[in-house]
Amino acid sequence: MTNTTTVVISYPSKFASSTTGSFTDSYGTPLPTVTSVSPSEGSTGGGTRVTISGTYIVPTLAKSVHFGADAAHATINSDGMITATSPAEAAGTVYVTVTTTDGTSATSSANAFTYVAPTTTTTTPPKSTTPPKTTTPPKTTTPSASSATGYDLVGADGGVFVFDAPGQSGGFYGSLPGIHVVPSKPVVGMVATSNDQGYFLVAQDGGVFSFGNAPFLGSLPGIGVTPAQPITGLVATGTDQGYFLVGRDGGVFSFGNAPFLGSLPGEGIHVDDIVGIAATPSGNGYWLVASTGQVYAFGAAAHLGTALGTPSPVAAIAGTPTGGGYWITTKGGAVYAFGVAKSFGTLPASHVTPSLPVVGIVHTAGTGGYWLLGADGGIFAFGDAPFYGSLPGIGVHVTDIVGAVPN
Q: Give the single-character DSSP code of 41.
A: E
* Mean local confidence (pLDDT), 36-61: 81
* Mean local confidence (pLDDT), 125-142: 33
197 pLDDT above the threshold of 90: yes
Q: Are residues 269 and 390 in the same domain?
A: yes
pLDDT value of position 12: 54
* 58 belongs to a structural domain: yes
Half-sphere exposure of 203 (CA within 13 A, CB side): 22
* 355 belongs to a structural domain: yes
Q: Are residues 246 and 378 in the same domain?
A: yes
147 confidence band (pLDDT: 50, 70, 90): low
| Residue 265, φ and ψ in degrees, nearest 5 | -60, -35
Q: What is the pLDDT of residues 74-96, one digit of tens each?
A: 877 667 788 888 888 888 999 99
118 pLDDT above the threshold of 70: no
3-state helix, strand, coil in the chain (%, to 5): 5, 40, 55
* Mean local confidence (pLDDT), 245-251: 98
327 pLDDT above the threshold of 90: yes
Residue 60 domain boundaries: 33-116
**Pairing of the two strands 33-38 and 62-67:** unpaired
Q: Are residues 90 and 174 in the same domain?
A: no
* 80 belongs to a structural domain: yes
pTM for the model stands at 0.69
2 confidence band (pLDDT: 50, 70, 90): very low
* 330 belongs to a structural domain: yes
Ranking 118-132, 221-235, 354-368 by mean pLDDT, the lowest is: 118-132
Query: Looking at this protein, which amino acid is placed at residue 175?
Result: S
Q: Please compute Rg for the chain using Cα positions.
A: 27
Between CA 342 and CA 349 the distance in angstroms is 15
Burial class of 226 by CB neighbour count within 10 A (0 to 12, 13 to 18, 19+): exposed
Tell which residue, 292, 210, 300, has the closest CA to residue 256: 210
* 19 belongs to a structural domain: no
Q: Are residues 104 and 180 in the same domain?
A: no
143 confidence band (pLDDT: 50, 70, 90): very low
Q: Are residues 260 and 356 in the same domain?
A: yes
105 pLDDT above the threshold of 80: yes
* Mean local confidence (pLDDT), 374-399: 96
Residue where a domain terminates, one of 73, 91, 116: 116
250 confidence band (pLDDT: 50, 70, 90): very high
Q: Give the count of domains, the chain.
A: 2
Q: Are residues 265 and 316 in the same domain?
A: yes
158 confidence band (pLDDT: 50, 70, 90): very high
pLDDT value of position 115: 86
Q: Are residues 223 and 111 in the same domain?
A: no
Tell which residue, 351, 341, 348, has the closest CA to residue 312: 348
Please, what is the average pLDDT of the chain? 85
Q: Are residues 77 and 162 in the same domain?
A: no
pLDDT value of position 166: 82
Q: Are residues 258 and 399 in the same domain?
A: yes
137 pLDDT above the threshold of 80: no
Tell which residue, 80, 63, 71, has the closest CA to residue 46: 71
pLDDT value of position 10: 52
pLDDT value of position 135: 64
Ranking 43-47, 102-106, 111-115, 347-351 by mean pLDDT, the lowest is: 43-47
291 pLDDT above the threshold of 70: yes
225 pLDDT above the threshold of 90: yes
28 confidence band (pLDDT: 50, 70, 90): low
123 pLDDT above the threshold of 50: no
320 confidence band (pLDDT: 50, 70, 90): very high
22 pLDDT above the threshold of 60: no
| Cβ neighbours for 271, distance < 8 A, ≥ 6 positions apart | 248, 249, 250, 264, 290
* 189 belongs to a structural domain: yes
pLDDT value of position 4: 46
* 14 belongs to a structural domain: no
Query: Looking at this protein, which amino acid is placed at residue 246?
Result: V
Between CA 131 and CA 127 the distance in angstroms is 11
Residue where a domain terminates, one of 62, 97, 116: 116
Query: Looking at this protein, which amino acid is placed at residue 62?
Result: A
Q: Give the single-character DSSP code of 39.
A: S
Q: Are residues 107 and 158 in the same domain?
A: no
> Cα torsion at 340, 341, 342, 343 (round to 10°)?
-150
* CATH assignment at residue 102: 2.60.40.10
| Residue 221, φ and ψ in degrees, nearest 5 | -60, -30
* CATH assignment at residue 322: 2.130.10.10
263 pLDDT above the threshold of 70: yes
Q: Are residues 110 and 192 in the same domain?
A: no
Residue where a domain terminates, one of 97, 116, 135: 116
Q: Are residues 204 and 291 in the same domain?
A: yes
